[in-house]
């Protein structure tokens, strides 16, 4: 149903020039009713879980879901709402923070390889290998030449992953500066959310336009048939969730996972 409902409207076509300030952040056109969206989300999560059961047993491919976006765009919430209810035996979420001393001693993709999903598994990246390009570029720590080189490296490595059986779907959670401000203020006001705050959240907010420009460049350069980007309107959390769930569900349906043939002749056994 994902494709039938038109969720591919958020797909970034290869080589498309992106202007994030011209794309909606609060749109709900494909599922405007909040109650209906929540009802559909439960159905989609159940179907994702069922499909993953077969996907895991088939053990031929892996599925990687990448979530990127500005601070407070909803990456944590999307993981919690879309993938809670999925069998944890088949699913692993990884959050990428600032690289530690060991990670800095290796190339920027080293830590990514360690947590790529195995065959039959769903891997979810909260931030990802793009972080080491986007953040450094927005903070003016990388030259334009290095940015171009790393984006090409990422496109190449994603193609290699895909050729070796990893299906990749990447989601940019597109939030407005006004909504980000509201969410950050909510964290400031709520003691239960103080742990989420970091000085970089406020420093990076001052460089909003820089982040938007480098994301535009990255989305355009690295959205491919093997590893497409979807720009998801993320001001409405419930709409963000149903969009991601619909696309993940549709992806698994298109993969058509099948149970393997039995290893034994059942007719030989009696209980």
In a domain, 220, yes or no: yes
Answer yes or no: is 263 within a domain: no
Q: pLDDT-based confidence at 265, cuts 50/70/90?
A: confident
User: Is 267 within a domain?
Assistant: no
For residues 140-157, give the mean pLDDT.
Answer: 94
pLDDT value of residue 195: 80
Q: The tokens of 262 are what?
A: 């039995």
Q: Is the pLDDT of residue 120 over 80?
A: yes
Within a domain: 108: yes
User: Comparing C-alpha atoms, which of 171, 2, 190 is closest to residue 73?
Assistant: 171
Looking at every residue in the chain, the average pLDDT score rounds to: 94
CATH code of residue 242: 3.40.50.300
Instruction: State residue 91's pLDDT score.
Output: 96
Question: For position 270, what pLDDT does the model report?
Answer: 81
**What's the pLDDT score for residue 3?**
42
For residue 43, the enclosing domain spans 7-258
What pLDDT shows up at residue 1? Answer: 37
Residue 1 lies in a domain: no
Q: What is the pTM of this model?
A: 0.94
Residue 212 lies in a domain: yes
Mean pLDDT to the nearest integer, 15-27: 96
Domain contains 14: yes
> How many domains in the chain?
1
Distances (CA, A) of 268 to 261, 262, 265: 16, 13, 6
Tell me, what's the pLDDT at 44?
98
Which residue has 């976006």 as its token pair? 69
**So what's the pLDDT on residue 257?**
97
Mean pLDDT along residues 102-130: 96
What is the DSSP track for the chain?
-TTTTTGGGGB--TT----GGGS-SS--TTS--HHHHHHHHHHHHHHHHHHHHHHHHH-S-EEEEEEEESTTSSHHHHHHHHHTTS-GGGEEEEE--S--HHHHTS-TTHHHHTTPPPTT-EEEEES-TTHHHHHHHHTT-S-HHHHHHHHHHHHHHHHHHHHTTEEEEEEEEE--HHHHHHHHHHHHH-GGGGGG--HHHHHHHTTHHHHHHHHHHHHHHH--SSS-EEEEE-SSHHHHHHHHHHHHHHHHHHH---PPPPSS-GGG---
Q: Could you tell me if residue 269 is inside a domain?
A: no
Q: Which of 50-59, 201-210, 232-241 has the lowest mean pLDDT?
A: 201-210
pLDDT bucket at 5, cuts 50 / 70 / 90: low
């Amino acid at each position: 149903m994902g494709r039938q409902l038109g969720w591919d409207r958020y797909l970034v076509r290869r080589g498309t020039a992106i202007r994030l300030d011209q794309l909606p952040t609060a749109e709900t056109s494909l599922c405007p009713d909040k109650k209906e969206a929540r009802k559909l989300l439960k159905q989609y999560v159940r179907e994702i879980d069922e499909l993953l059961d077969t996907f895991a047993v088939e053990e031929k491919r892996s599925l990687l879901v990448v979530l990127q976006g500005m601070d407070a765009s909803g990456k944590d919430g999307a993981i919690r709402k879309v993938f809670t209810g999925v069998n944890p035996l088949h699913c692993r979420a990884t959050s990428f923070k600032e690289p530690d001393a060991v990670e800095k001693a290796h190339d920027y993709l080293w830590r990514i390889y360690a947590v790529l999903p195995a065959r039959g598994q769903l891997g979810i990246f909260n931030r990802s290998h793009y972080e080491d390009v986007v953040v450094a570029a927005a903070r003016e720590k990388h030259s334009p030449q290095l940015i171009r080189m790393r984006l090409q490296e990422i496109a190449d490595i994603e193609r290699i992953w895909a050729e070796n059986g990893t299906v990749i779907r990447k989601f940019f959670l597109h939030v407005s500066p006004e909504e980000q401000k509201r969410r950050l203020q909510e964290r400031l006001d709520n003691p239960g959310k103080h742990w989420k705050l970091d000085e970089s959240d406020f420093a990076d907010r001052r460089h909003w336009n820089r982040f938007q420009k480098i994301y535009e460049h990255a989305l355009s350069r690295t959205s491919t048939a093997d590893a497409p980007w979807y720009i998801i309107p993320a001001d409405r959390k419930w709409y963000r969730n149903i969009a991601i769930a619909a696309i993940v569900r549709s992806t698994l349906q298109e993969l058509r996972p099948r149970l393997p043939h039995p290893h034994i002749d059942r007719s030989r056994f009696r209980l």
